[in-house]
Amino acid sequence: MEKGKVQIFDTTLRDGEQVPGCKLNKEQKIIIAKRLDELGVDVIEAGFPISSPGDFEAVEAIAKIVKNATVCGLTRAVEKDIEVAAQALKYAKKPRIHTGIGTSDSHIKYKFNASKDEIIERAVKAVSFAKKFVDDVEFYAEDAGRTDNAFLAQVCSEVVAAGATVLNIPDTTGYCLPEEYGAKIKYLTEHVRGIEKAILSCHCHNDLGLATANSIAGVMNGARQVECTINGIGERAGNTSLEEVVMILRQHPTLGLDTNINSKLLNEMSHLVSESMGMLVQPNKAIVGANAFAHSSGIHQDGVIKNRETYEIINPEDVGVTESSIILTARSGRAALAYRAKKIGYELTKLQLDVVYQEFLKIADRKKEVVDEDVHRIIENNKIGI
């Protein structure tokens, strides 16, 4: 793998699709998978083939049409799951089986009622079995965020010896702090036997709003794959947001890390997923929210009009947004009003602007947002347009 390259593993169609009430049909999944491939993701987790006939068919259909990305299917550490995933992936150019088991004390005790040795045995068996079907086998240690590091390193060492190519370290419950998650990844780079044969992957949930921060801490400490979803959708509070990770790495070149993502397609991708799932994106969502490049206070508007970089760290065109927007409200100043008036064809003198601005403030106090039609009307009513 290229030095400094972070693989993007998109799980919108698997972990993302676990959002209550947001099921996608097969056709919608195929459209999203095609667009993810064009976006430049390295891996598309297309589903959990054993979970239902519909999911099997969707994974199979995606495996057939994806041209560049690896196509991956999730399984438990169960032979039947692995067989079915292998079957669903048989047409993929680059198939990957993603298998694993819970490794934290609570998973071992309550979910499996097993011993640590039994967990290692099941993990190794699952990876070895998956290797019979595909070369590329990713292992997940579910609830790794709350798993003791020494045991985690032991499990990882054993599955690498069995042929795992990727070690997924999920913070399944979104519990870790960035420093803690970063230290966990660092510990694994130093303590997993044979780690040079595999890459470490971050899979973080957002229960405390830390999924992106934890994933970034992970890659800063040696992980080379991030598992994420478009718009950060996923179980409960969601998963790491793909667009955030991509743009954080791009805006901080000193980290020496980057992805293969064509960021200009991010905005369109966000809309596609939001509309297909009927799941609105919060307006203040970083990178893809409706307000991510909207300026509404007078001080900020004046600054952005003079030079975009005063209040914007990302060029909106880099994520597929045509331009920043200046929203006219009662907090806007003359600069913003003159700017919007010019956009709709009026070049106002200072005197004209003074008159229009007084009228504008009256309307702005009544309405939440003054739109272009209002500006047009104020200017025409005052017969000062040119």
Residues of this chain that interact with ligand KIV (CB under 6 A) are 15, 140, 142, 168, 170, 172, 203, 205
User: Taking the complex as a whole, how short is the minimal distance between the CB of residue 203 and ligand KIV, in angstroms?
Assistant: 5
The DSSP secondary-structure symbol of 5 reads B
- Determine phi and psi for 98, rounding to 5 degrees: -115, 100
Q: Which is nearer to ligand KIV, 184 or 205 (CB)?
A: 205
User: Taking the complex as a whole, how short is the minimal distance between the CB of residue 22 and Zn ion, in angstroms?
Assistant: 15
Q: What is residue 328's three-state secondary structure? A: strand
Beta bridge partners of 227: 9, 203
How far is 258 from 363, CA to CA, in rounded Å?
47
User: Taking the complex as a whole, how short is the minimal distance between the CB of residue 303 and ligand KIV, in angstroms?
Assistant: 41
Q: Which is nearer to ligand KIV, 164 or 326 (CB)?
A: 164
270 binds, among ligand KIV, Zn ion, none (CB under 5 to 8 A by kind): none
Provide the binding-site residues for Zn ion, judged by CB under 5 A.
15
Do the Cβ atoms of 308 and 315 come closer than 8 Å?
yes
Q: Which is nearer to Zn ion, 15 or 143 (CB)?
A: 15
Q: Which is nearer to ligand KIV, 152 or 319 (CB)?
A: 152
Position with the least CB separation from Zn ion: 15
Widest CA span in the chain: 84
340 binds, among ligand KIV, Zn ion, none (CB under 5 to 8 A by kind): none
Q: Which is nearer to ligand KIV, 136 or 302 (CB)?
A: 136
How far is 117 from 119, CA to CA, in rounded Å?
5
140 binds, among Zn ion, ligand KIV, none (CB under 5 to 8 A by kind): ligand KIV
Q: Which is nearer to Zn ion, 226 or 378 (CB)?
A: 226
Cα dihedral 84, 85, 89, 90 sign? negative
168 binds, among Zn ion, ligand KIV, none (CB under 5 to 8 A by kind): ligand KIV
User: Taking the complex as a whole, how short is the minimal distance between the CB of residue 202 and ligand KIV, in angstroms?
Assistant: 11
Segments in the chain forming alpha helices (H): 26-39, 53-65, 79-88, 105-106, 116-131, 149-161, 178-191, 211-220, 242-251, 266-277, 298-306, 334-343, 350-366, 372-381
User: Taking the complex as a whole, how short is the minimal distance between the CB of residue 168 and ligand KIV, in angstroms?
Assistant: 6
User: Taking the complex as a whole, how short is the minimal distance between the CB of residue 327 and ligand KIV, in angstroms?
Assistant: 38
Residue 25: which of 45, 50, 52, 44 has the closest Cα?
A: 52
